[in-house]
Amino acid sequence: MEQALRDRFRTELNAAQFEAVFHDDGPLLVIAGAGSGKTRTLTYRAARLVEEGHPPESILLLTFTRKAAGEMLQRASQLLDARCHQIAGGTFHSFANTILKRYAAALNFPNGYTIIDRPDAESLIGYIVKENMDAPKLGAFPRKKTLADIYSKMANKDAPLEDILDMEYPHFLPHLDALREIQDAYTDMKKQQALMDYDDLLNNLWLLLDQHPAIRERLTARYRHIMVDEYQDTNRVQARIVQLLAGNHHNIMVVGDDSQSIYSFRGADFRNIMDFPSLFPDTRLITLEENYRSAEPILALTNRLIDQAIEKYPKTLFSNRGGSNSPQLIHTGSENSQSRFIVDKIMALADQGIPFSDIAVLFRAGFHAFDLEVELTREGISYVKYGGFKFMESAHIKDMLAYLRILCNPYDRLSWVRILLQINKIGPKSAQTLYDHICRQKQGLRGFLEDQSKLATKPDVQRLKDVLATIDDATLSPGGQGEHILAYYLPILKQRFDDYPKRTRDLEQLLAILETYESLESFLEDMTLEPPTTTVSGAFGTVGDREDHLVLSTVHSAKGLEWHTVFILWALDGRFPSLMATENDGQLDEELRLMYVASTRAREQLYFMCPGQVYDRMSGMLLSQPSRFLADLPEGILERHAGNLW
């Protein structure tokens, strides 16, 4: 490496980081505590590999979100040069999609498959239950949402149906056989219609690597250096994929922190991190324990917090930073006084010159922030909200996407039924008849356009044919297609939703995104794999990064980020930890890690908010105690104050 750059790296990295960055070939495990410069280490290492002559496209960087990958490559480019943008990066799911698109045929799967999201999967399962299970069901039978949950857990935890039922749904054990039947039918249905759900992407990538040595070798020859971020949140399938990708070269670096594992509900297992050295026997272990983020009093609290975990691998973060502001627990009377306290504090911080974008309010669940959102809007404070409400899953967006989806995949039953049901006097039966005709014809979209049956020649159906015929035109851009669809769909929208003005704006936003794409396929893939998840002051928008917005976020979506001041909403026992998680130690530990992730986001000031006296209607309990995780912390670590007590 060029000496000047090497010197620069030496001054900008600490000893442990430097060691990791300059680690050569072979397996490397980096245990990186919160705020210890994990991202920095990854970007510097990527830049270093490129600088030393490794072709950027031979480096694979797997991260938790595509945004994280993009930011890392951006930073690496600034460090070195634009070559770093050529590094292959993304999430496990998007990487799987890239590979499967090319090799799907090897798995006897059509190349032009469609990726379905969770609600789609639920609807498909719903069809199966309705059509194949006509016998009246004895006792409580799981709803389609629960069925989708169960099947997804099986895939993510790599466990048989019995085990999942035993552990989490013992009351459904009598239906074991039926559940198995439904799952088989679901698998068949996906194959017939060329559909893959999120879990299929990972599973099929693993199958491909495992059963096709020639393809595996081609891939391991292509990706000579692999780096995986947030390794504590990978599941069994992902760990096996990593193992196969490492092939014979074993140039695999994984980075993670067992204390920040917060996705076990999705099958993630932080033991993956601990098992890594036994998977790769000559693993080098580097630990990053110096925290550069948080002021001393915050670090003192977070260290005490994570000490309470029942199962843990001890480590204590240290810092050379001073700081005088102790974390505070603020008791307020009602939910609204909690919101008012935060609004007042934010105004005061703004007066001190802290930008809104350097302040965050974090919460356990999206709806916990509703009252605060009202209050912020009233005060005219603009904010961005991450997590919670899923824009892509709202009915009008899914409607719009359905029209685009049948252009890519004319046998997509879900989308056909969805758009046919919007036509007057067409219900489930007629929709099915029309769809069956399309499948029988095997002529793609023409099967519908040229259907001359009585049903298909009704004036209302004819209007749909007309618009589909117009947009089925290779010379039209995706944006142009979208405009035609919107013109057709808007009257339907007005008839079906009384809040159509808001929804119309959403659709126009979607159209604006669509216009930035060259191909419909990649638009649809992106909308499923990495959907826009933010809302700007209540209305969805392409986030103007330049603007100075306050950040509201679920703890899960706040992963990896940091702010000057952090407020944690509802640090109330029963909310955080959630009442549902207080039954067993494993779940309780995860809630604790979640609280740990939330509090380690703060650099200078940390507030826990605790409104008293909330009635929880699900359990019938009155919640009034602060979070059990905070209860035993001494006053020197956590100051208790009364906020607004009305």
Partner DNA sequence: AACCAAAAGTTTTTT
Partner DNA sequence: ACTTTTGGTT
- Work out whether 373 is an interface residue with DNA (CB under 7 A): no
Residue 29 pairs with which residues in a beta bridge? Answer: 254, 285
By C-alpha distance, which of 65, 204, 121, 158 is closest to 529? 65
- Work out whether 526 is an interface residue with DNA (CB under 7 A): no
CB of 636 to DNA, least distance (A): 31
Q: How far is CA 141 from the centre of its chain?
A: 29
Q: Which residue in the set 255, 426, 550, 552 belongs to the binding site for DNA (CB under 7 A)?
A: 426
- Work out whether 343 is an interface residue with DNA (CB under 7 A): no
- Work out whether 533 is an interface residue with DNA (CB under 7 A): yes
Contacts of 136 (CB under 8 A, 6+ apart): none
Q: Which residue in the set 27, 35, 37, 366 belongs to the binding site for DNA (CB under 7 A)?
A: 366
CB of 559 to DNA, least distance (A): 9
CB of 542 to DNA, least distance (A): 17
CB of 110 to DNA, least distance (A): 22
In angstroms, the CA 450 to CA 434 distance is 11
Q: Are 558 and 534 in contact (CB under 8 A)?
A: no
Q: How many CA atoms lie within 13 A of 91 on its CB side?
A: 18
In angstroms, the CA 253 to CA 225 distance is 8
Span of 90-98, 204-212, 464-472, 597-605 interacting with DNA by CB under 7 A: 90-98
Looking at the Cβ atoms of 49 and 60, the one nearer to DNA is 60
* Sign of the alpha-carbon dihedral angle for 404, 409, 410, 411: negative
Span of 52-60, 77-85, 350-358, 363-371 interacting with DNA by CB under 7 A: 363-371
CB of 132 to DNA, least distance (A): 14
Contacts of 437 (CB under 8 A, 6+ apart): 447, 448, 451, 453, 456
Q: Which residue in the set 37, 256, 327, 388 belongs to the binding site for DNA (CB under 7 A)?
A: 388
| Residue 62-81 contact track with DNA, rule CB under 7 A, x = bound | --xx----------------
Per CB under 7 A, contacts with DNA among 126-165 are 126, 140, 143-146, 152
In angstroms, the CA 424 to CA 455 distance is 12
526 — alpha (psi -120 to 50), left (phi > 0) or beta? alpha
Q: How many residues bind DNA (CB under 7 A)?
A: 51
CB of 153 to DNA, least distance (A): 10
- Work out whether 424 is an interface residue with DNA (CB under 7 A): yes
CB of 348 to DNA, least distance (A): 29
Span of 29-37, 114-122, 300-308, 628-636 interacting with DNA by CB under 7 A: 114-122
Looking at the Cβ atoms of 1 and 580, the one nearer to DNA is 580
- Work out whether 410 is an interface residue with DNA (CB under 7 A): no
Residue 639 pairs with which residues in a beta bridge? Answer: 328
In angstroms, the CA 630 to CA 584 distance is 19
Looking at the Cβ atoms of 78 and 394, the one nearer to DNA is 394
- Work out whether 557 is an interface residue with DNA (CB under 7 A): yes
Looking at the Cβ atoms of 151 and 488, the one nearer to DNA is 151
Looking at the Cβ atoms of 279 and 455, the one nearer to DNA is 455
Exposure b/e, 330-368, CB count within 10 A at least 16 = b: bbbebbbbbbbbbbebbeebeeeebebbbbbbbbbbbeb
Cα pseudo-dihedral 128, 129, 131, 136, rounded to 10: 160
Question: Which amino acid is present at 433?
Answer: T
In angstroms, the CA 356 to CA 374 distance is 17
Which token pair is 491?
């009257």
- Work out whether 586 is an interface residue with DNA (CB under 7 A): no
Taking each helix axis from N to C end, the angle separating 118-132 and 413-420, rounded to the nearest 10 degrees, works out to: 80
Q: Which residue in the set 50, 359, 431, 493 belongs to the binding site for DNA (CB under 7 A)?
A: 431
Residue 255 — φ and ψ, nearest 5°? -125, 135
Looking at the Cβ atoms of 263 and 411, the one nearer to DNA is 263
Per CB under 7 A, contacts with DNA among 456-515 are none
Looking at the Cβ atoms of 282 and 583, the one nearer to DNA is 583
Taking each helix axis from N to C end, the angle separating 144-157 and 161-168, rounded to the nearest 10 degrees, works out to: 120
Q: Which residue in the set 472, 515, 530, 562 belongs to the binding site for DNA (CB under 7 A)?
A: 530
Contacts of 170 (CB under 8 A, 6+ apart): none
CB of 399 to DNA, least distance (A): 14
Per CB under 7 A, contacts with DNA among 265-304 are 265-266
| Residue 11-50 contact track with DNA, rule CB under 7 A, x = bound | ----------------------------------------
- Work out whether 430 is an interface residue with DNA (CB under 7 A): yes
Looking at the Cβ atoms of 17 and 528, the one nearer to DNA is 528
Looking at the Cβ atoms of 233 and 604, the one nearer to DNA is 233
Q: Are 346 and 539 in contact (CB under 8 A)?
A: no
Q: Are 220 and 249 in contact (CB under 8 A)?
A: yes
Contacts of 448 (CB under 8 A, 6+ apart): 410, 434, 437, 438, 456, 465, 468
Which token pair is 473?
């035109």
Residue 527 buriedness (CB in 10 A; 0-12 / 13-18 / 19+): buried
Looking at the Cβ atoms of 426 and 445, the one nearer to DNA is 426
Span of 27-35, 270-278, 303-311, 553-561 interacting with DNA by CB under 7 A: 553-561
- Work out whether 117 is an interface residue with DNA (CB under 7 A): yes
In angstroms, the CA 104 to CA 553 distance is 37
- Work out whether 260 is an interface residue with DNA (CB under 7 A): no
Residue 524 — φ and ψ, nearest 5°? -65, -40
- Work out whether 89 is an interface residue with DNA (CB under 7 A): no
Looking at the Cβ atoms of 142 and 247, the one nearer to DNA is 142
Q: Which residue in the set 387, 482, 574, 611 belongs to the binding site for DNA (CB under 7 A)?
A: 387
In angstroms, the CA 304 to CA 323 distance is 17
Q: Which residue in the set 332, 554, 599, 600 belongs to the binding site for DNA (CB under 7 A)?
A: 554
CB of 25 to DNA, least distance (A): 29
- Work out whether 94 is an interface residue with DNA (CB under 7 A): yes
CB of 67 to DNA, least distance (A): 9
In the complex, the residues that contact DNA under the rule CB under 7 A are 64-65, 91-94, 117-118, 122, 126, 140, 143-146, 152, 198, 262-263, 265-266, 364-367, 386-388, 421, 424-431, 529-531, 533, 554, 556-557, 578, 580-581, 587, 594, 617-618
